[in-house]
């Protein structure tokens, strides 16, 4: 088999090494446009898991690589004049130039032909059984095959520049430097005993204000040495094609077309904040070698091998890209975390990728985990030691207080359970969740039909009373979209409603008839007018039933989504009707709460239109939403896929947030609360081991 690699970085060289090591008779050529000593960048980082893969794939190069490693266990965070150190992480890295020297020498020894200063500009110039495009993030091969490969490049807004420095860092170091121009973040880590990588990142407005828009490479270095003079303490920054850039996240619908296959950054990128570009490229090479020549029986059908390579690597790559996406979003919005206490900031940073659970933090760095637990517990008046886990803590839902941070939204019965009068299955589902320790239980998304009759209101009141008796609050989730409207049942008389309420709940509680819209004064009539008759009646009956929280869900109906801020404003007036509002207390006949209850709005994430979603959420908050429920469909590649948006809304809009927990385990839910990404987590059943404080 003849294999041609376009690009002589770690991906192409390592593939050549592995193929020749497994099957010396195969011919491998690597075309590299630069000279052998030309390299860009400074250090590369590997995890212990990746090193294990390299040791199995080629022990000889593994031994040479690890002999050159700088190793460290700690992460340091410098922010607001304080330095916090987190331990137990375990990193190793080496100079990129040294890595390439090792791989070049090993490839030559095994008979790989590496043709330096040979630039390939067209696929027609290459004749081979397999053409491997490892030509990096700006891959021209990927662009040439765009119709077949369906690439998508998401260019991120932050600016960054890759530098070296002579500071002998002994930890993975994050510097957060506030300046008159804005906040700068630095990602720094050692690659040998007297050299470190020093990546500077900032928002574009900060970059412009600081004078970098028109700066040359030398001017960039000079300006940054001035900004970080205290941190560098006399050490110098080192340039190497240190040009300000925007990070491109590359994804492809396919990684191969015909006999051409993408490898490494040409196929996919992961943000530098998780340090996995070289790792992914070399692990790609291992998988491609296995599928091409490493199976029993020797070489296999090339199209089948390329398809098998992609099928094997894509799930792991997409999971890591999801983690990288969460991490890059954290760094894009670092400004919003600067108000956090140092221990909270550290914890948030350590868990930003959503791949590090609270249990993992407790194992790696018990001091950090306990510190955050104590801080969270103290905020709600709990001083026991050891403190309860984060999800076991209470949360103030307005004037009410949940007994834990876990909300359970169970489902039950048939597909029409959201439209019919509740039965014993509803009681078992919601009551069972409360008995198991949920702090809040929430109905499925109900249409107005589910609260269209007085019988339904009475039955819901029984369920609410049952749940309250078991220490949980109850939320009702109502659809405002196309499914919200339902035929209005015949109106019952005031007398019959009152009799029904007395029979169901005893004296002192009565079911309300439909309130007259005219009972609202002019200042509020317009707001209430947007609420449909059916939803209006459902909300009134929910008030009677005793629900603690009203959640309005527009679903995926674009009209309902656009109307939701106005709907929140109107629904809130109905839901919170108290003696202080211009509502006729006689006509309402509703037992009024002594304190107002909360109204929540559901926000469905659209990662490709995140700015629009955040703007919509801001409108909801201005309209009076007390809580934002964040939901995301996810794609199976990320834990808690709604967490990045929840994090942003909570810390940017300063609103209480609950987040769909999907199938996340309890330690992941604990991390979401401890990191300040959410106030409540929503699951469909109580996780194993969950409890109340």
Cα-based distances in Å from 452 to 43, 73, 531:
65, 61, 15
Structure tokens that stand for 50 in this block: 């990746």
pLDDT at position 90: 83
Interatomic CA distance for residues 481 and 596, integer angstroms: 25
Regions of the chain short of the pLDDT cut 50: 483-516, 578-594
Q: What is the crossing angle of helices 342-350 and 366-379, to 10°? A: 120
Distance CA 693, CA 690 (A): 10
The answer to whether the beta carbons of residues 326 and 675 sit under 8 Å apart is no
Tokens standing for residue 180:
């008159």
Tell me the CA end-to-end span of the chain in Å, nearest whole number: 64
41 CB contacts (<8 Å, ≥6 apart)? 96, 162, 197, 240
Angstrom distances, CA of residue 594 to CA of 10, 214, 327, 669: 68, 61, 44, 33
DSSP H stretches of helix in 84-213: 96-110, 140-144, 146-149, 204-209
Q: What is the pLDDT of residue 497?
A: 35
Q: Are 78 and 176 in contact (CB under 8 A)?
A: yes
Query: How do strand 70-72 and strand 91-95 relate by DSSP bridges?
Result: antiparallel
Distance CA 219, CA 575 (A): 60
Give the SS3 label for residue 255: coil
Q: What is the 3-state secondary structure (H, E, C) of 478-495?
A: EECCCCCCCCCCCCCCHH
- What's residue 484's pLDDT? 46
Tokens standing for residue 172: 């993975």
Alpha helices in 79-237 (DSSP H): 96-110, 140-144, 146-149, 204-209, 217-227, 229-232
Q: Which residues pair with 631 in a beta bridge?
A: 604
Structure tokens at 525: 């009539």
Per-residue pLDDT of 106-159, as tens digits, reads 999 999 999 999 999 999 999 999 999 999 999 999 999 999 999 999 999 999
| Residue 635, both tokens | 């794609």
CB atoms within 10 A of CB 159: 21
pTM over the 0.85 mark: yes
List the one residue out of 226, 216, 235 whose CA is nearest residue 184: 226
- Where do the domains of the chain lie, and which CATH numbers do they carry? 2-331 (3.50.50.60), 438-634+644-661 (3.20.20)
d(CA 477, CA 483) in angstroms, rounded, equals: 13
Separation of alpha carbons 448 and 238, rounded Å: 65
Question: How many helices and strands, by DSSP H and E, does the chain display?
Answer: 24, 27
């Amino acid at each position: 088999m003849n294999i041609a690699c376009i690009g002589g970085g770690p991906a192409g060289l390592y593939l050549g090494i592995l193929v020749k090591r497994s099957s010396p008779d195969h011919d491998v050529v690597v075309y590299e446009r630069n000279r052998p000593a030309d390299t860009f960048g400074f250090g590369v980082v590997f995890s212990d898991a990746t090193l294990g893969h390299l040791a199995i794939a080629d022990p000889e190069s593994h031994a040479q690589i690890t002999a050159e490693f700088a190793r460290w266990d700690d992460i340091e965070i410098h922010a607001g004049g304080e330095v916090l150190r987190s331990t137990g992480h375990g990193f190793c890295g080496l100079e990129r130039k040294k890595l390439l020297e090792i791989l070049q020498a090993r490839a030559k020894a095994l008979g790989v032909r590496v043709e330096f200063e040979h630039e390939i500009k067209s696929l027609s110039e290459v004749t081979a059984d397999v053409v491997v495009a490892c030509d990096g993030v700006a891959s021209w091969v990927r662009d040439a095959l765009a119709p077949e490969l369906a690439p998508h490049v998401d260019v991120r807004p932050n600016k960054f520049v890759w530098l070296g420095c002579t500071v002998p860092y002994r930890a993975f170091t994050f510097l957060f430097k506030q300046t008159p121009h804005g906040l700068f973040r630095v990602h720094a880590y050692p690659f040998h005993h007297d050299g470190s990588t020093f990546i500077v990142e900032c928002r574009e407005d900060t970059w412009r204000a600081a004078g970098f828009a028109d700066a040359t490479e030398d001017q960039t270095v000079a300006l940054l040495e001035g900004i970080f003079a205290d941190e560098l303490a006399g050490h110098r920054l080192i340039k190497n094609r240190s040009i300000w850039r925007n990070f491109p996240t590359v994804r492809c619908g396919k990684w191969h077309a015909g006999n051409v296959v993408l490898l490494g950054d040409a196929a996919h990128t992961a943000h530098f904040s998780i340090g996995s570009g070289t790792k992914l490229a070399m692990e790609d090479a291992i998988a491609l070698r296995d599928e091409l020549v490493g199976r029993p029986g020797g070489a296999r059908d090339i199209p089948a091998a390329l398809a098998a390579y992609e099928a094997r690597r894509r799930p792991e790559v997409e999971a890591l890209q999801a983690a990288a996406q969460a991490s890059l979003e954290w760094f894009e919005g670092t400004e919003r975390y600067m108000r956090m206490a140092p221990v909270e900031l550290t914890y948030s940073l350590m868990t930003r990728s959503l791949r590090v659970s609270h249990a993992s933090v407790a194992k790696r760095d018990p001091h950090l985990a306990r510190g955050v637990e104590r801080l969270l517990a103290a905020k709600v008046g709990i001083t026991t030691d050891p403190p309860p886990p984060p999800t076991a803590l209470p949360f103030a839902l307005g004037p009410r207080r949940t007994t834990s941070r876990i909300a359970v939204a169970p489902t039950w019965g048939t597909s029409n359970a959201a439209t019919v009068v509740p039965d014993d299955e509803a009681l078992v589902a919601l009551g069972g969740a409360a008995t198991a320790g949920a702090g809040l239980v929430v109905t499925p998304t109900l249409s107005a039909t589910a609260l269209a009759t007085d019988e339904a209101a009475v039955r819901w009141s029984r369920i609410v009373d049952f749940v309250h008796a078991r220490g949980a609050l109850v939320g009702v989730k109502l659809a405002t979209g196309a499914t919200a409207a339902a035929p209005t049942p015949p109106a019952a008389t005031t007398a019959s409603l009152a009799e029904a309420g007395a029979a169901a709940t005893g004296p002192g509680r009565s079911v309300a008839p439909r309130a007259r819209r005219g009972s609202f004064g002019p200042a509020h009539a317009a707001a209430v007018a947007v609420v449909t008759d059916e939803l209006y009646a459902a909300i009134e009956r929910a008030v009677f039933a005793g629900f603690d929280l009203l959640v309005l869900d527009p679903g995926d109906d674009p009209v309902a989504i656009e109307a939701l801020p106005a709907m929140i404003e109107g629904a809130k007036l109905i839901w919170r009707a108290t003696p202080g509002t211009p509502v006729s207390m006689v006509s309402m006949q509703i037992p009024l709460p002594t304190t107002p209850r909360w109204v929540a709005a559901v926000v469905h994430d659209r990662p490709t239109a995140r700015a629009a979603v955040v703007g919509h959420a801001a409108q909801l908050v201005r309209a009076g939403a007390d809580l934002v429920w964040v939901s995301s469909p996810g794609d199976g590649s990320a834990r808690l896929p709604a967490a990045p948006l929840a994090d942003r809304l909570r810390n940017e809009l300063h609103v209480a947030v609950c987040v769909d927990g999907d199938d996340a385990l309890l330690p992941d839910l604990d991390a979401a609360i401890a990191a300040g990404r959410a106030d409540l987590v929503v699951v469909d059943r109580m996780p194993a081991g969950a409890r109340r404080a």
